[in-house]
């Protein structure tokens, strides 16, 4: 790649990110500019997670698998706006192929906007770290995605699916790391304050020099939700 071509590529990527940022701002404005009767809807949810993770890395001689655990939380200061975050860690071994295991960490946060009661748009950073013998592999990505939800059993079970892609990120030696993934799951909420979620998550990161790593997770999360505090006259 010539210097001129590289400069042109970086300029095009920067313009694409600027357009994306402008689109997010416009979406947020439209979402928050709804009827005044739906302005405040305070809500807090906390959960603990455990599950099994498989990591397939192209430049590693074996796959890694093991269990992770962590915490997550969501706060909704507005009926159409919410913030969510999660942290997970674990120890993955090489199974029957032998060799040392690896510690893994991941953290991510997102700002979400409810476009419709069953459609949300989310965006935020994700950091994943795998401890390696010579140097830890850290990948930071900024992601945006869409989430769809639907009731399966009224007032008891709902399903959801999400898809996300990264629009910026850094990884090994400062190289940009594109990627994407998705998640499908079921949420059971037998009471207003208790819920449980079973989910399958898939995430792929494309590393430099043709390498990539794929995360596949089966996760069980249980949590509690604080009662909602609505403004007078809310229609929700």
pLDDT at 149: 95
CATH superfamily membership of 37-227: OPCA outer membrane adhesin/invasin (2.40.128.100)
The full DSSP string for 153-219 is: ETTTEEEEEEEEEEEEEE-GGG----EEEEEEEEEE-SSSSEEEEEEEEEEEEE-GGG-EEEEEEEE
pLDDT at 24: 55
pLDDT at 35: 46
- Taking the domains of the chain in order of start, what are their residue ranges? 1-33, 37-227
Measured distance CA(201)–CA(49) in Å, rounded: 13
Residue whose tokens read 């990120």: 169
* Residue ranges, the chain, pLDDT below 50: 1-9, 12, 31-32, 35-41, 231-236
How many Cβ atoms sit within 10 Å of the Cβ of residue 159? 14
pLDDT at 74: 94
pLDDT tens digit string along 94-138?
655 555 678 888 999 999 999 998 999 999 988 888 776 666 777
């Amino acid at each position: 790649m010539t210097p001129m071509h590289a400069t042109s590529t970086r300029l095009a990527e920067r313009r694409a990110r600027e357009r994306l940022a402008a689109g997010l701002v416009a979406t947020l404005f439209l979402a928050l500019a709804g009827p005044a009767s739906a302005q405040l809807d305070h809500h807090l949810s906390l959960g603990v997670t455990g599950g099994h993770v498989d990591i397939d890395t192209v430049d590693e001689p074996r796959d890694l698998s093991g269990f992770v655990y962590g915490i997550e939380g969501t706060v909704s200061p507005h009926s159409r706006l919410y913030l969510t975050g999660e942290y997970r860690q674990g120890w993955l071994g090489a199974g029957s192929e032998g060799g040392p295991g690896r510690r893994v960490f991941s953290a991510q946060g997102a700002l979400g906007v409810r476009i419709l009661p069953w459609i949300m748009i989310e965006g935020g950073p994700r950091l994943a770290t795998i401890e390696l013998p010579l140097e830890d592999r850290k990948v930071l990505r900024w992601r945006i995605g869409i989430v769809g939800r639907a009731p399966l059993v009224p007032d008891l079970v709902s399903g959801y699916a999400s898809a996300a892609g990264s629009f910026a990120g850094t990884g090994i030696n400062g190289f940009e790391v594109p990627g994407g993934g998705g998640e499908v799951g079921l949420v059971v909420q037998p009471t207003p304050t208790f819920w449980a979620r079973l989910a399958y998550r898939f995430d792929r990161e494309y590393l430099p020099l043709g390498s990539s790593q794929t995360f596949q997770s089966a996760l069980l999360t249980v949590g509690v939700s604080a009662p909602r505090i609505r403004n007078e006259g809310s229609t929700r």
